[in-house]
Structure 1
Amino acid sequence: MEKINIYVPDNVGRILENDASLFEIFKRDGRTVNKNRFLSMLITGFYGQYVKEYKQKYDAVKTEMVGVIKSAEKRDILADSILKNVILPEVPTRKGKNPKRLSLKPTKDTESLIIKIMTDLGDSDYISQYFCRLLMSYCDKPLNEREQIIFRDNYELLDEACKSNRPVAFTTIWNKSVVHEVIPYRVVVGQGEMFNYLICAETDDRSGEQVAKSYRLNRITNLNRSNRMGTISDDVKRHLDMMLHYGPQFAINDDEESCVRLTDYGEKSFSRIYYGRPCVDHVENREDGHYYYFKGSKDQIFFYFRRFGYDDAEVIAPESLRQKMISFHRDALSVYQQD
Structure 2
Amino acid sequence: MTEKYKIYLSEDIKTRLTNDAELFEFYKKDGSVNLNAFLKILIVNYFDQYRNEKEKLLNSIRQDISNIISISDKDSEKLADRIVNTYLKGDFEKAEKSTAITLTVSGESYDIIGIIENNLLKDSSLSGYLKDMFVSYLSIPRSNREIIIFKDIQKAITTAISEKRIITFSTTTSEKNTTFTVEPYFIAPSKEEQCNYLICNDVRAHIPRTFRISRLTSIFVTSADFIFDDTLYKELQDRALRSPQSVSKTVQAIVKMNSFGIRKFKVVTKNRPDLLKKEGDLYYFDWSELQLEEYFKRFGRDAIVLEPKSLRERLKKYYNLAVKAYTY
TM-score where L is the length of structure 2: 0.90
Aligned length: 324
How far apart are 1:271 and its partner, in Å? 1.0
SS at match of 2:3: coil
Q: Alpha-carbon deviations, 1:254-313, whole Å to 9, x = none?
A: 35322222233322221111112112222333xxx32x2222210111111111131x21
CA distance in 1, matches of 2:88, 2:296: 47
CA distance in 1, matches of 2:77, 2:102: 32
How far apart are 1:43 and its partner, in Å? 0.7
Contact 2:171 2:215 in 1 (8 A): yes
RMSD after superposition:
2.3
CA distance in 2, matches of 1:57, 1:234: 41
CA distance in 2, matches of 1:188, 1:69: 49
Letter in 2 for 1:66: S
Which residue of structure 1 lines up, in the alignment, with residue 44 of structure 2?
Answer: 44
Gapped regions of structure 1 (runs ≥ 5)? none
Which residue of structure 2 lines up, in the alignment, with residue 248 of structure 1?
Answer: 244
After TM superposition, the structure 1 stretch with the greater mean CA deviation from structure 2, 69-78 or 52-61, is: 69-78
Which residue of structure 2 lines up, in the alignment, with residue 284 of structure 1?
Answer: 279
Which residue of structure 2 lines up, in the alignment, with residue 328 of structure 1?
Answer: 318
Equivalent in 287, 296, 299 of residue 287 of structure 2: 296
Q: Alpha-carbon deviations, 1:210-246, whole Å to 9, x = none?
A: 1111111110111121243223556643542232222
Contact 1:8 1:91 in 2 (8 A): no
CA distance in 1, matches of 2:250, 2:291: 14
Structure with greater helix share of residues: 2
Find runs of 4+ consecutive structure 1 residues off by over 6 angstroms.
none
After TM superposition, the structure 1 stretch with the greater mean CA deviation from structure 2, 14-23 or 162-171, is: 162-171
Letter in 2 for 1:191: K
Which residue of structure 2 lines up, in the alignment, with residue 53 of structure 1?
Answer: 53
How far apart are 1:203 and its partner, in Å? 2.7
| 1:24–1:89 CA distance, 2 compared to 1 (3 A) | same
Which residue of structure 2 lines up, in the alignment, with residue 153 of structure 1?
Answer: 152
Contact 2:3 2:110 in 1 (8 A): no
| 1:135–1:69 CA distance, 2 compared to 1 (3 A) | same
CA distance in 2, matches of 1:2, 1:245: 46
**2:130 is the alignment partner of 1:140:** no
Contact 1:89 1:133 in 2 (8 A): no
Question: How much identity, in percent, do the aligned residues show?
Answer: 27
CA distance in 2, matches of 1:218, 1:120: 33
Which residue of structure 2 lines up, in the alignment, with residue 259 of structure 1?
Answer: 254
CA distance in 1, matches of 2:168, 2:237: 22
Q: Alpha-carbon deviations, 1:69-95, whole Å to 9, x = none?
A: 342233223322332234346997xxx
| 1:124–1:91 CA distance, 2 compared to 1 (3 A) | farther
Which residue of structure 2 lines up, in the alignment, with residue 114 of structure 1?
Answer: 113
CA distance in 1, matches of 2:277, 2:162: 35
Contact 1:201 1:232 in 2 (8 A): no
Contact 1:261 1:313 in 2 (8 A): yes
Which residue of structure 1 lines up, in the alignment, with residue 124 of structure 2?
Answer: 125
Contact 2:202 2:208 in 1 (8 A): yes
TM-score where L is the length of structure 1: 0.87
